[in-house]
Structures are given as C-alpha cells and as structure tokens.
C-alpha cells in the first residue's frame, strides 16, 4: 500500500498563529504553506477514495455509494456552510475513478 493510503500517517503540524506584526510576505508565505498542505491532503484523499472504489468494483459493487457521498457533503456543509458543500462536491469529483467502460449511446467523434 502506498504512503498516501496510510491513514495513520501524520498530516503536518498545526500552523503557528501569525503575529499581529507580520508583514504581507510572511502572511503570504504561510498561506502558500497551507495551500501546499491542503493539496497534499486532497491528493492523499483522492488516492484513498480511488482505492476504495476499486475494491468495491472488484467485489461486484458500484464504485461509489450515494449514501456515503451524501454523508461527506453533509460533513462539509455542517462545518463550512453552503460553500463547504461545494468543496465536498469538488473533492468527490477529484476522487472518482473513470468509468470502467465508455458510456452507451456515444458514437465515434465527428472531429474529422
């Protein structure tokens, strides 16, 4: 199993409070550090979710489970409000496996 699937792996230490005297460069450096941590966690979450979806497919189940996805959206909405649900939807979208086969009804492209 890859490091991204290691659920017990520590995230990084909590960010330190920004002193009132901090300049714009210091604040932006801390924001950039937080962005890097968020990106790392999103990638870890996506890999773990894809592993779960692959396991479900191999077991003959649908890759995603609507009740679980709704619970995820609920957690984000409860913690962050309406925009939190948008974040949850974006995370679910980033974490989806591609379909196992092409959708029915779509013929070859007419881009010629």
pLDDT per residue over 13-53, tens digit each?
Answer: 666 676 667 788 888 999 999 999 999 999 999 999 999 99
pTM for the model stands at: 0.69
For residue 90, what is the DSSP state?
Answer: H
Domain housing 25: 21-95
CATH number at residue 58: 1.20.59.10
30 inside domain? yes
Classify residue 112: in a domain, yes or no. Answer: no
C-alpha to C-alpha distance for 9 and 26, rounded to whole angstroms? 28
The structural domain count of the chain equals 1
In a domain, 100, yes or no: no
Residue 1 makes CB contacts below 8 A (sequence gap 6+) with 51
Cβ–Cβ < 8 Å for 45, 5: no
Q: Which residues, in sequence order, are CB contacts of 98 under 8 Å at separation 6+?
A: none
C-alpha 101/C-alpha 85 separation (Å) is: 29
User: What does pLDDT average to over the chain?
Assistant: 83
> Is position 9 within any domain?
no
């Amino acid at each position: 199993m890859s490091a991204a699937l290691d659920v017990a792996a520590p995230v990084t230490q909590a960010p330190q409070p920004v002193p009132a005297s901090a300049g714009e460069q210091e604040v932006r450096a801390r924001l950039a550090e937080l962005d890097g941590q968020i990106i790392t966690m999103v990638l870890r979450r996506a890999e773990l979710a894809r592993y779960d979806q692959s396991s479900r497919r191999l077991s003959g189940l649908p890759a995603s489970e609507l009740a679980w996805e709704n619970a995820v959206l609920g957690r984000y909405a409860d913690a962050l409000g309406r925009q939190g649900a948008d974040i949850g939807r974006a995370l679910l979208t980033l974490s989806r496996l591609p379909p196992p086969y092409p959708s029915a009804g779509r013929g070859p492209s007419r881009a010629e």
